A and B are shown apart, each in its own frame.
Chain A
């Protein structure tokens, strides 16, 4: 929203901020506005979570049930039916899904964020980006719950993640959140004008994008040999989520060397690349840089489109 903040002036003991409503307000000013409205962001996130499960008996459990179901299905299909032979496949799967679910939930809910809050957008003035960011916020809360479940899960299986590399999780999480925010802001704005985006994104994110991430298969085992053979490995890393998903897997699954598969003959295979921690940091830093550029672009698009939200809805 075009609310520009300028230097506050002191008058009669009251600080009065000046605000400009116009169609040209810089991205940096809008970021400042968003920062000022962080209280609202927090309230919207808690509202969304409260409202979602207010009247259901199991409450939050439902929000964990869907990812749990996905986990079970993939574990059964790939681990048992198709026999990929990865030892403790469910943990590799869980670590990848954890990062993926944050992205998927953010983007799917954010796409409808402006349209579904039409009443608010038409009547109240506040930085509209907040609505998209609130979707990322509530997805982060569910991410946290899932992470807690995973900790219990790992403890139950007596699985040892790479404790020494635990610091890589926030290193991957920050670019992931920025990337989610960029996508959320862009899609929420575009969806106001093209309602197809909602359906398009369900198809793209729900299927194609998911399979382009090394979640139900291993990068090192499946993707690397095939793509490097044709020198097109870079193609795989056009997906900014891949370094992030791989960082999660590196820390939680933590089996970097050659390991025996459980298939007949127990062949040796490498599931995670033998990268050093700094290679992960570098990859995540590139994702962060790209995400920041995307975020800026998304803010520009949002700024262009936001002026007519109240009319279009």
Chain B
């Protein structure tokens, strides 16, 4: 496949001026000695996106995701390196950017279309489609300032996806409008993929990346720390999140010890994460003889943990299919299953009475978080793989126990 977007060693430096001098007087007074710190928002990012691929960009807040996206769109220029884009690129950094409140919806479609590089004839051609997609037929000749915020973003999205781009760049804008419109947007994105167009999008949500993307890139502090299949990338991203938690906690620790004027001591890891998962095991009838579960059989998933102090813990079990879709997520805290653990090791078991899934291999991820939510103590992405074999002829994702009755005038026949 030819390359659609080639990112060649892109770095971006922001100068953070401690004091911003924009008036002439201040510039003259402080000439040549404005204090600043250099912040490298991106460091030597190299990857390419093949035509037809959907690439997700994952990263924590401030990891450089949006900066990279802006460099790809051309809103920012990289300090060094360059981005080569083949084909027309439409960037959705903000929906409705460039709308003029005083103009009507119709006029704004033309203005926005030309901002995205369309000629008048092009816009004439897609105009009806844009209006229909945005569902604004009755309001199209009203001034945009009278639109509701939902109408506003709908129009913005409709213009952007109808400009017929080869490369679509989306910055967390899929969370717009009501659920139905979101669905519509995602369908449209899907349609784009089916047409073999290239999509680059930024998301905070690993689930979304897994569901939509062919590949993903993980950024951390402006550096690329992962690039590959989405499952792999999500694992790197999750690990990175955990490390970040470490750094944060360690920072606080250092501050505390500094206050006490003590030398910096290495912090025992288990102090930061009072509870860790040390192992996962699965058991089902016949687990000694065969490496797979049979549909309909009971399944027990056991998590071995080590706690260094009493913790209000909540254990999580997650099953995903190969496309990354979550089939199952069980959180012990939600079930009111008491899990106030004391220091020491232990085992928590999840017993499922019957495995409903049909043929396939599923990734099992496990974790432990604070019961009040928010804090993730430990997470093992794809800690194990469950193979399921379905003895019946049932097709579909799940096979539920079922009884079929046929009713006819002559009576009821049970089977």
| Residue in A119, A121, A307 whose beta carbon sits within 8 Å of that of B77 in the complex | A307
| Residue in A19, A39, A123, A196 whose beta carbon sits within 8 Å of that of B114 in the complex | A39
Q: Which residue of B lies closest to A16 (CB)?
A: B87
Known contacts: A43-B111, A123-B75, A125-B74. The answer to whether A22 contacts B98 by CB under 8 A is no
Q: Which residue of B lies closest to A307 (CB)?
A: B77
Q: Flag the segment in B19-27, B273-281, B310-318, B339-347 that touches A.
A: B19-27
Q: Is A122 an interface residue (CB 8 A)?
A: yes
Q: Flag the segment in A47-55, A176-184, A201-209, A233-241 that touches B.
A: A47-55
Rounded to whole angstroms, the CA-CA distance of A262 and B360 in the bound complex is 103
Name the A residues within 8 Å of B2 (CB-CB).
11
Q: Nearest Cβ distance between residue A57 and chain B, in whole angstroms? A: 15
Main secondary structure on chain A at its contact with chain B? mixed
Q: Nearest Cβ distance between residue B296 and chain A, in whole angstroms? A: 49
Q: Is B64 an interface residue (CB 8 A)?
A: no
Name the A residues within 8 Å of B94 (CB-CB).
123
Rounded to whole angstroms, the CA-CA distance of A110 and B339 in the bound complex is 66
Q: Is A264 an interface residue (CB 8 A)?
A: no
Q: Nearest Cβ distance between residue A26 and chain B, in whole angstroms? A: 14
Q: Nearest Cβ distance between residue A250 and chain B, in whole angstroms? A: 39
B100 pairs with A20, CB closer than 8 A: no
Known contacts: A39-B120, A193-B22. The answer to whether A123 contacts B77 by CB under 8 A is no
Q: Flag the segment in B102-110, B217-225, B252-260, B323-331 that touches A.
A: B102-110
Q: Which residue of B lies closest to A303 (CB)?
A: B77
B103 pairs with A23, CB closer than 8 A: no
Rounded to whole angstroms, the CA-CA distance of A82 and B80 in the bound complex is 62
Name the B residues within 8 Å of A124 (CB-CB).
75, 91, 93, 97-98, 115-116
Q: Nearest Cβ distance between residue A189 and chain B, in whole angstroms? A: 14
Interface string of A1-29 (1 = CB under 8 A from B): 11100000101001011111111000000
Interface size class of A (residues with CB under 8 A): 35 or more
Q: Is B88 an interface residue (CB 8 A)?
A: yes
Q: Flag the segment in B53-61, B65-73, B349-357 that touches A.
A: B65-73
B84 pairs with A18, CB closer than 8 A: yes
Rounded to whole angstroms, the CA-CA distance of A2 and B76 in the bound complex is 9
| Residue in A17, A21, A22, A307 whose beta carbon sits within 8 Å of that of B88 in the complex | A17
A55 pairs with B119, CB closer than 8 A: no
B82 pairs with A50, CB closer than 8 A: no
Name the A residues within 8 Å of B81 (CB-CB).
22
Known contacts: A14-B166, A16-B87, A124-B93. The answer to whether A54 contacts B75 by CB under 8 A is no
Can you list 14 pairs linking A and B with CB atoms under 8 Å apart? Answer: A1-B77, A19-B84, A19-B85, A21-B72, A23-B79, A36-B117, A50-B103, A119-B97, A124-B97, A124-B116, A125-B74, A126-B115, A195-B23, A310-B70
